[in-house]
Structure 1
Amino acid sequence: MLGDDGSLTRRVALRGGGVAALAVFLPIGSAGQPIAVAGDPDAGPLFLTEDELRTLRAVVDRIVPADHHARGAEWAGCAEAIDGLLGAFLTDPPRIFAGAPFSDRAGSPVNHFAEFLPLDAYEEMAWRLRIEGSRGRPELERNGPVTGLQTIYRQGLAALDEQVPGRRFAELSGLKRDLVLRTSRNPAVTELMEHAVGHTMEFTYGAPEYGGNRDLVGWDYTGYQGDVQPRGWTREEVERRDADGGPAPPLPDVVPREQLVTALALAHPETVRGALARSDGRLSALRGEIGAVVSAAVTATREVAGAAGGVTGGR
């Protein structure tokens, strides 16, 4: 379903293709790599300042806004979870990899997810490089200098607060914040959103131990049951049709063929995984990869339609 302004609605995008499908329609952002950082939405900031955290809350609110179906990313604690990622090495062990095998949501007496794992020397160097950057250290710049997430977020949030003279970004209305994010040509803002979109998606719809998805709001919204081990599923639950199941409703006549082809082109999981892997977590590259897939699908559809027309015409 399309929104009143012609944009793809949040519910359809999530159920029709997840982050990969959203990448086709979002103007900026990232489908980044999975991350795991625990955080407390009600606690103060770990790395950011209070003002920076307030601005970040305003950003994630526009990436996954609340609607009449569910609360959004701000309520889910995504800004605090991102702050936890930026300050991951301020805790011991660093809150990077959650434990296993079970949470306590399905029969386990212990929540192993909440017990974060220590990093080995290689993992610590790799994650410090990603989060803190190389900071002029020769041993970390064998392939050139690296700007860490801490710098990217700090500079991007500062740039957003400078977009409207005399007003902080968080003080703007939702529509004005959307306008700023869509029209800004500031490289710091672009770089910020390359990462913030992916992080917000991951924290909104990931396991709550990772910092977001407060009160399982993301799972409730999408109808996802979450981790069900060690209880698992009974045979009856596996074979029983969902309460709201039944034949899928027909597609409305107003869906253009191009949109349908786009959805079908992304339907195969191998296609999506391949595009994500080749894009290296960057939305700009991901959009190019998915654009190529969709373009090929559109071309093939036209060729098939043309061939069918030729056969029909020859009869």
Structure 2
Amino acid sequence: MPNEDKTKKKTDVSVSRRNFLKKSGYVLGGVLAGGVIGSLVNAGGKNPPSANPQQPTSTPSDYNQALMYFRQDQFRIVEAATERIFPGDDIGPGAKALGVAFFIDHQLAGDWGFNGRDYMQPPFYKGEAVQGYQGRLKRREIFDIALQEMQNYSQSKYKKGFVDLTPEQQDAVLTAFEKDEVKLTTVSPSGFFRMLRNATIEGVYADPLYGGNKNMDGWKLKNYPGNQMAYTQIIDKDEFTKIPPKSLKDHLH
């Protein structure tokens, strides 16, 4: 009798282990997913899993909105500053909702930030207004210095960081940079402001592929069609035709 009990227990363990491995194989093999996995483990009970389980809904993540260059504190300053340059209103979203700060971050992480296509060899002389920036600093270095100086100026004038200022105070800080009222020795305040403003506008209207113009809402503000492959269906029409915009990504399918 004792031997029979041992044999029975051994058989039960073997069967149980085999069932577990079998069920685990279904899970690992991808036959079942989501909320069904929990039901599968208990499949030996009296209540089998539903054939049409309720799947939780979730909003797809925008993996293009990730920092490539900025620190978190720098990103928040740029996000607040660009929102004052291109604020949201009743007509449409502003720079923050459009992801403009991500666009600038991505640009600084690439050739634009490294001045990869600019001649950067000395000697350096102050250029004419029409020539733009003439110096040794790369754009990413200019942003690093200027953002810190914006923070310093905000602290000295309002005893708060730029992000914590009221919209009116943020406008005053940006205006001080635009008019060269901030005295800096390393970078031109007005030169940085122009660079920031230009980058903001580019982020509003560039293809969403580059991080800004989220959901093509910047294009929708202007009824801009984006990257259409052809206009043959409307080329002969006299009246204005509104076309849903398309991104470069839309032509991959």
1:130 corresponds, among 111, 115, 119, to: 115
Once the two structures are superposed, the pairs formed by residues 40-59 of structure 1 within 5 Å of their partners are 42-43=65-66, 45-59=67-81
Residues in 1 aligned to 2:216 and 2:165: alpha-carbon distance in whole angstroms? 28
Structure 1 stretches of 5 or more lacking a match? 1-38, 89-95, 97-126, 135-139, 245-315
Query: Does structure 1 residue 173 correspond to structure 2 residue 161?
Result: no
Corresponding residue for residue 196 of structure 1: 196
Residues in 2 aligned to 1:72 and 1:81: alpha-carbon distance in whole angstroms? 14
Distance 1:204 1:238, change over 3 A: farther
Distance 1:142 1:159, change over 3 A: closer
Q: Contact between 1:131 and 1:149, CA under 8 Å: does it hold in 2?
A: no
Q: How many residues align?
A: 161
Query: Does structure 1 residue 158 correspond to structure 2 residue 148?
Result: yes
Structure 2 stretches of 5 or more lacking a match? 1-61, 125-134, 243-253
Q: Displacement of 1:215 after TM fit?
A: 0.4
Larger radius of gyration, structure 1 or 2?
2
Q: Give secondary structure in 2 for the equivalent of 1:221.
A: helix
Corresponding residue for residue 87 of structure 2: 65
Query: Does structure 1 residue 209 correspond to structure 2 residue 209?
Result: yes
Distance 1:179 1:132, change over 3 A: farther
Residues in 2 aligned to 1:128 and 1:79: alpha-carbon distance in whole angstroms? 14
Q: What is the aligned-residue identity percentage?
A: 22
Corresponding residue for residue 86 of structure 1: 108
Corresponding residue for residue 225 of structure 1: 225
Residues in 1 aligned to 2:113 and 2:145: alpha-carbon distance in whole angstroms? 18
Residues in 1 aligned to 2:168 and 2:64: alpha-carbon distance in whole angstroms? 25
1:149 corresponds, among 136, 139, 143, to: 139
Distance 1:41 1:161, change over 3 A: farther
Distance 1:195 1:236, change over 3 A: closer
User: Which one-letter code corresponds to 1:164 in the other structure?
Assistant: S
Q: Displacement of 1:242 after TM fit?
A: 2.5
Residues in 2 aligned to 1:133 and 1:152: alpha-carbon distance in whole angstroms? 15
Q: Displacement of 1:128 after TM fit?
A: 7.0
2:232 corresponds, among 231, 234, 237, to: 234
Corresponding residue for residue 182 of structure 1: 175
Q: Contact between 2:122 and 2:136, CA under 8 Å: does it hold in 1?
A: no
Distance 1:128 1:241, change over 3 A: closer
Per-residue CA distance 1:271-306 (angstroms, 9 max, x = gap): xxxxxxxxxxxxxxxxxxxxxxxxxxxxxxxxxxxx
Q: Displacement of 1:220 after TM fit?
A: 0.4
Residues in 1 aligned to 2:117 and 2:233: alpha-carbon distance in whole angstroms? 48
Residues in 2 aligned to 1:155 and 1:132: alpha-carbon distance in whole angstroms? 22
User: Which one-letter code corresponds to 1:42 in the other structure?
Assistant: Q
Residues in 1 aligned to 2:113 and 2:82: alpha-carbon distance in whole angstroms? 24
TM-score normalized with structure 2 length: 0.57
TM-score normalized with structure 1 length: 0.46
Residues in 1 aligned to 2:149 and 2:164: alpha-carbon distance in whole angstroms? 15
Residues in 1 aligned to 2:175 and 2:70: alpha-carbon distance in whole angstroms? 24
Higher relative contact order (Cα pairs below 8 Å, separated by 6+ residues): 1
Q: Contact between 1:132 and 1:151, CA under 8 Å: does it hold in 2?
A: no
Residues in 2 aligned to 1:53 and 1:148: alpha-carbon distance in whole angstroms? 18
Distance 1:133 1:152, change over 3 A: farther
Q: Contact between 1:131 and 1:150, CA under 8 Å: does it hold in 2?
A: no
